Structure formats: structure tokens, C-alpha cells
Structure 1
Amino acid sequence: MSEATSFTSVPIVDITDLSSPDLADRHRVAAEVGKAAREVGFFYIRGAAIDEALFTDLLAATREFFALPIDEKMRSYIGFSRCHRGYVPYGEEGLNGDRPDLKEAFDTALDLPADDPDYLAGNPMLGPNAWPDIPGFAERVTAYYNAIIAVGNQLLWAFAVALGEDPDTFVKHATKTPSQLRLVHYPYNPDAVDALGIGAHTDYECFTLLKPTAPGLEVMNGAGEWVDVPPVPGTFVVNIGDMLELWTNGAFVATSHRVRKVKEERFSFPLFFNVDYDTEVKPLPQFASGDGRDRPPLRAGEHLFAQTVQTFAYLRDRLARGELELPDGSVETNSFGQQALHAGK
């Protein structure tokens, strides 16, 4: 059962001591992380061991790519990829029926070689990235990806400890994950009036580590009200995703969030931290109700793929043509989080 409160602001947790040699320090931070996950599902973290220069380089590379002419960007179109990597043009992605999100993006993940056995076997979310022909682009994005993944592993440990589980409960499933880093661009729009940049949704993975450059993000509280989550210097935003909600049977809630369209140009860099593709996720024994009403298990990668198919136009087209099919047991979008609770799902 969700403990999400009618919060009006999002807490800040200092995670510096997750790197402490003192186990008591690490456990103290884990308890703070767990409290925020239970009561809000969204929180800021400061003290992440990431060199600011890595983000500066990432932002510079991103600006360089999105400044290219559309025909240049489309050379990396995500529809050319067999593992969902590359450029996402305006109108490609949408969570609200036929109304597309007002953004463009570039999707990356763990950059595997072309002879990777999972990729060769047809895994739809594992494989090589689709890098554009920009000097240093791949190197700058990869350096940030590796650094933010390391922070994610610390948080995965903290979530397990906060739940009273073995510290390796989740980490042992994070060896070759389809964790995605998105480079997202919301263009300057002086005429923006209360429009959605991204519709209300939850994130499909375990949790998200986000670095935005401008306002626009809002989160739904336990009362179904929208709360602003503005950028705070020196922090990242963390939000719980579908898999941690499922593992905890709703004790950690995958908080619904959205992006309102703002006038200023905005860049956003979410790292969607997942566990390995074939990991079976179901309520941990301490959270299982025993009455047969728990959510059925899902495989982490299959859930990610199913939600992605329902969100991206090129994949919806392939589904309609019978070129692919949803995994057994797939759920519709917005089946998790506060929005689902208030809708009675």
C-alpha cells in the first residue's frame, strides 16, 4: 500500500556518505533514501560523486547535435536501429493518444559490440548505440553514462538496505542492463501556453536519475495534485519507477510526473536505471499479500520493451503491421504510479 503523502515540495537527500567506509553512515543515508521513496517517490540527491565537467561536456555535445539540420539528425533516426537507439524527432513519441510530445531526443544505452550475443539473438533493447558523426560525441556521452550508472548502483544498494533486504538483492541483477540515457531537447517557444512537453506517466525501469537545465517538471502527490520540481543547483532528481513499485507491492510508489511546456529552451538528461533484461520482478516476500491479489510478475526488459512499443510511433506501426508483438503479460501504459491509483487501476 502506498504511503505517498500530500507533499507540496520534494525533499533533498545528501548521499555523500554512501561512499563512506563507515557502514553506519551508509545505512543512515539508505534510511533517508527509503523514507523519501515511501512518502514521495521523488527526491533530489546532492553529493553524487560526478565531476561537473562531465555534465558540461555532455551538454555541449547535446547542443551541437540538436543544432544540426533535420536531415543530418535523421541519419541517426531511431527507426533505423534494431535495439532502440538514436534520434527521436518531434512527433515520434507520445503518451496521450494522438497528441505527440513537444520535444526531440537522442536515445543511448549500454554500448555493446555488434557481435554481442544478445543483440545477435534479436534482443530489442540491447546492442550498439547509433552515434552521429560528430567528433567526440560518443566519448563525451559515454563518460557521463558510466559516471551516472555508478551513482545508480549506489542507490540500488541503498534501496535494498532501506527495505531491510540483503544489500545485494537488486544489485545482483544489474550486470548487463538496458538502462537508457536520453538527451532531450525542448525548443524555445515564446508562445508556449500551458502545453505538455511530456504527458503524465511513470518511468518503466527501477528508478530515474535526472539532470534538467530549466523548469517544467511536475510530480503528482498522494492527493492527486501536481507539485513543481524546479532545478536545484548541485543536485539530481530521483524518481521511483515501475519495477521498484512492483518489487515492493506499492510501498515504493512509481510517482506519476509530467513536463509542462515552458518558453525557455530546456535540455533534460534522464538516466533510466534498470536491471537485467530477463530479471523476473514480483513482490518481495515481505510485501506479498498472500491473498492472490498481488500484481503478476513481469520481466524487467520485457516491460520496458512493451511500454516503449506503445509510446513510439515507429514501433506502433511495426506492431500494427504484425512485424513484432508485445510480450505475454504486457500491461498498458500508466498502469503504475499515483495516476493509476487515482484512476482505480
Structure 2
Amino acid sequence: MNTMHRDSRLENFQAIPVIDIQGLRDDDPAARQAVARELGRAAREVGFFQIVGHGLSRKLREGLIEQAKAFFAQPLEAKMTRYIGQYPHHRGYVPQGEEAPDPTKRDLKEAFDLAFELPEDDPEVRAGTPLLGPNPWPDLDGFREPVERYYQATYQVGRALMRGFALALELPERHFLRHVNKPPSQLRLIHYPFDAHAEDVQGIGAHTDYECFTLLLPTAPGLEVMNGAGEWIEVPYRDDALVINIGDMLEIWTNGEFVATSHRVRKVKEERYAFPLFFACDYHTTVAPLPELVARHGGGPRHAPLKAGDHLYAQTIHTFRYLQQRLERGEIALPKGARDIGTLGQHGRHKEPDT
């Protein structure tokens, strides 16, 4: 693939594609391949797209939103009983100011983070593998079942997309799924409180996502994507769609053929919720440019290999204040060879405008 041609297309995109992925569940390989071609085009030319035909019912989505509203409506003291800094597996309540993807700016949100459920006696958890373990479910009647049901259903959509991405790259359909067994795939319940003075103020700063890709259920507009020219493009809000964006792992695996696109949340005035599921591969997976894609592109590998979980853990340490404090106290250590935050994505190549 010609790099200059790819970059030129990134510079020119002004819209976010919408893809019906129902064909990924079809028994006919031709139907799956047709969807895969659309996924590949969007992953190469934009790095962001919306999906419909995902099979997540309105009832399922509304059940998640209802429980998030119930959780965040609690007094701060009640939410802090599940504070993320109390637990060893990076799960729990994230108050405003705890997280800072851009360390120079304060994120205006609160969140509840959960991930792939593993019991305390799982071998990986007993070994102390970061980010793996059980979830500290809130003590709210009716919370766990609809939230867990949404997680499982959306995780299966992610697995279908992983098959589609493999087909788009002319790889065996299950090529990537070999590395998805106990992934630290995180679901975030994010709340942006109403703020009459928040117009044109960031909610989440410019960043790429650290995992393979993200499946986002939003409830209002506000998400913006940076194209290759450094321009911010708004993602139109659709209540029937999930927003998908390519993350760091797929950019590295595909030797840059798929693009981890920088994005941010802005103009958050109304109360708003967002629910990203960050689809990851297994912690110990070594992610390196695939030899067949290196040969296809020419010019050698564009990224150094890294361990997927170590990259995710390092970026998480860089982002969360409680982990930075643990690092300063010597309670944890950055994984060897950890990258600095913001080394992938367009915002690493373009200075963010002061707006």
C-alpha cells in the first residue's frame, strides 16, 4: 500500500462512514467478505466509522443507560465506596479530575469502569497480571445484570468485527481471535454533568485508544475526530448506531495500514452519557507488524513490537492520578519499554488549536 496515497486520503476525509454489519453474521462467506471490504476501507481511510445492524436491541441499550443514571445519581460519598483507587485491578468509580489523557487539562467527567470478569482464583489473577480480575459491582439493586448483559453482547459484536478486520486484510477469518481469550477489554460508563458554562470546553482531551478498537454507545453529540490535515470533524449522533474507532494495537499489527485516529469530546453543555467498550487482545500478546503486511507495504516495519497488556497498563498509569501516586511511592513500576503517551495518532503530529 502506498503510504502517501493513504495519508492524502486521511487529510481529505470530511465525513464518518456508516456500515451495516449484519452480513458478518451470515453463513455465506461472500456476505461476510462484502462487509469486510467496507470495514477495511473505513479503517484505512478514516479510522472511524459507525455501525448499524449490530444486533444490540434498544431494550438492551436502554437497560445500560438506566443503570448508569441510577449509579451517577447517588451522592458522591456513595459512589466513592467503589473508588477505583481502592482496588488492585483498575476497576471502579472514577471521580472528576482523576483522569487526564492530556495532563495539562482537566477532564470534565466521572465514570465507572469495569472489564472482562475473572474470578480471584483464575491463574492470571493469582499471578498478579495487571488489569485482570473481578469487578467491584456497586451495591445497587438491579445494576449488575443489565450492565453485564450489555457487556457480553457488545463483546460478541467486537469479536465479529475482529473477524471482519482479518478478512479485510486478506488474512484467515480467526487470525486475530487466537489472541482474544481473557482480554482486559474495558467497558466505561461515563457521565458528563450539565454545565451551563461548558460550551467549547473539552470533555475528554485529544487521544488515541490503546486497545485494538473501540465500540462506543453515545447518548448525545460531542465527539470529534482529527483528519490527516489536523482538522476536527464532528461525528454525527445516531441513536441506533455504535461508533467504532481503530486503536493503537491494530495500527501496529497492520503496520500502519489501519489508522488509530485521534479524537476528543467537546462542547459538552447538556448532561450526557457515553459507553465505550475498548476491545483488547490478551495481556501477554506480543503485537508486531504482521510479516505479510510488511512485505505487502514494502519499506520494512513501521512500528516496534510491544506487549499488548504492558502498553495498555503503561498508558493507564500515565493517565490516572492514583496510579501515578502508586508509581511515585514505588508500589508499582512502568513496564519495560513502555511508550510515552500520545505517540500514536494524528494529534502526535499536529499541535492542537487553542480553542
TM-score over 0.5 for the pair: yes
Which residue among 273, 289, 309 is the counterpart of 1:283?
Answer: 289
CA separation of 1:292 and 1:38: change in aligned 2, threshold 3 A? closer
> What is the identity, as a one-letter code, of the residue corresponding to 1:208?
T
Partner of 1:192: 198
**Residues in 2 aligned to 1:53 and 1:263: alpha-carbon distance in whole angstroms:** 27
Aligned equivalent of 1:333, options 333, 341, 344: 341
Q: How does 1:221-232 map onto structure 2 within 5 Å? A: 221-232=227-238
Give the residue type in structure 2 aligned to 1:35: R
Percent identical? 55
Secondary structure, counterpart of 1:287 in structure 2: helix
**Distance in 1 between residues matched to 2:219 and 2:199, nearest whole Å:** 20
| Aligned counterpart in structure 2 of residue 122 of structure 1, from 121, 128, 145 | 128
Q: CA–CA distance in 1 between the matches of 2:286 and 2:119?
A: 25
Equivalent residue, structure 2, for 1:270: 276
Aligned to 1:77: 83
Tell me how far apart the structure 1 counterparts of residues 11 and 156 of structure 2 sit (CA, whole Å): 30
Please give the alpha-carbon distance, in whole angstroms, between the structure 1 residues aligned to 2:11 and 2:33. Answer: 24
Output the aligned Cα RMSD: 1.3
Distance, in Å, in 1 between the alignment partners of 2:215 and 2:301 is: 31
Equivalent residue number for residue 312 of structure 1: 320
User: How many Å apart are 1:294 and its aligned residue?
Assistant: 3.0
Q: Which deviates more, 277-286 or 113-122?
A: 113-122
Superposition TM-score, scaled by structure 2 size: 0.94
Query: Where does structure 1 lack aligned partners over 5 or more consecutive residues?
Result: none
Equivalent-residue separation in structure 1 for 2:98 and 2:125 (angstroms): 24
Residue 5 of structure 1 contacts residue 40 of structure 1 at CA under 8 Å; is this kept in 2?
Answer: no
Give TM-score scaled by structure 1 length. Answer: 0.97
Q: Deviation per CA, 1:62-108, whole angstroms, max 9, x where unpaired?
A: 00000000000000000011110000000000022242210000000
Inter-partner Cα distance in structure 2 for 1:335 and 1:169: 26
Aligned counterparts of 1:37 and 1:214: Cα–Cα separation in 2: 24
Show CA shifts across 1:15-58 (max 9, x none): 01111111101000000000000000000000001122111110
Aligned partner (choices 11, 16, 20) of residue 10 of structure 1: 16
How far apart, in 1, do the equivalents of 2:44 and 2:193 lie?
Answer: 34
Given that 1:303 and 1:330 are in contact with CA atoms closer than 8 Å, whether structure 2 keeps it comes out as yes
Corresponding position of 2:112: 106
CA deviation map 1:304-343 (0-9, x unaligned): 1000000000001111111111111110111111222447
The answer (yes or no) to whether the contact 1:246–1:295 under 8 Å persists in 2 is: yes
The structure 2 residue matched to 1:29, chosen from 35, 42, 50, is 35
Match of 1:300 in 2: 308
- Quick check: 1:27–1:158 contact (8 Å CA) kept in 2? yes
Q: 1: CA distance between counterparts of 2:158 and 2:104?
A: 34
1:50 aligns with 2:52: no
Q: Is the 8 A contact 2:18 2:51 kept in 1?
A: yes
Structure 2 portions without partners, runs of 5+: none
